[in-house]
Amino acid sequence: MPNEIEAKFKVGDFRAVRRRLKELGAVHLGTDLQTDAYYDTPQRKLLNEDKGLRIRHTRRLRSPSTGDKADTRAQLTFKGPAGNHKRAKIRREIQTRIDSHEAMNDVLAALGLAPTLKIQKKRASYRLGACRIELDRLPLIGCFVEIEARGADQIETVAGKLRISSEPSKDHYVNLLLGACRRASSGACQEITFENCANCNSA
């Protein structure tokens, strides 16, 4: 399976990036609400090993400019640990569409895995040349631009074209969200969704 090569950059908002995407001729691929259920052992074995296993549900919020229809089936994704790279995260990624969330949940339960965390984000996806660019808005932690490409040098080139001056985040959304949730609330951080976090103070 191919490696995922990406970097994410924290931004205050998306206005300047959207303008640059339009100027550069990027193609809008759709805007979605993504809800991810992460599975792990009771001891959080996968999280402690910097691995992730999730089932993602997607609800389309805005259709793409290409007119393509979204595949709304749930998606199972495994991500391996990220390598020690300065400008990008490079990790093994295996994913497939699934027809039955309930059946897959039963399979994972039989392997000793249970849903331990639910997170949401609103994602606007664009294609610029061979690169994919995601504008991600998440509860508590705000706005990020994620650039996925074939190599770290290509990511740097695209970030320059988008005039992004911030350093790439070295952590994953899960860890960033868990940290922000602990700082914003004294309760257990098991469902970090827009609805649940509407009254929380952002970190």
Question: pLDDT band for position 189 (50/70/90)?
Answer: confident
Q: Which fold has domain 3-192?
A: Hypothetical Protein Pfu-838710-001 (2.40.320)
Q: Enumerate the β-bridge partners of residue 8.
A: 146
Ordered by start, the domain boundaries in the chain are 3-192
Tokens matching residue 192: 């970090």
pTM of structure: 0.90
pLDDT over 70 at 175, yes or no: yes
More confident of the two residues 118 and 185: 118
